[in-house]
């Protein structure tokens, strides 16, 4: 599960970086900028749903001592 979370976070940051690159290269309103934003939002939603599901299934829990 740790690998999945880290991979998703890296993919989200990569999508954010590509959006910044396309924004500086193509300008505002470019289809590539919008596509990059859509991908980033979708990845974030998948990560959130996966974290919620893994918490309710008992795969993740609160940190010890919390």
The predicted structure's pLDDT at residue 63 = 76
pTM of the model: 0.82
H/E element holding 27? none
Q: Are 36 and 15 in contact (CB under 8 A)?
A: yes
As a dihedral over the C-alpha atoms of residue 63, residue 1, residue 43, residue 53, rounded to 10 degrees, the angle is -70
Q: CB under 8 Å to 22, separation ≥6 — which residues? A: 30, 32, 33, 36
Average pLDDT over residues 34-53: 95
Is the pLDDT higher at 13 or at 66? 13
């Amino acid at each position: 599960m740790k690998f999945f979370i880290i991979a998703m976070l890296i993919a989200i940051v990569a999508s954010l970086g590509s959006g910044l690159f396309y924004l500086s290269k193509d300008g505002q309103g470019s289809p590539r900028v919008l596509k990059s934003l859509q991908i980033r939002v979708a990845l974030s939603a998948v990560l959130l749903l996966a974290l919620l599901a893994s918490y309710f299934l008992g795969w993740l829990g609160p940190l010890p001592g919390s």
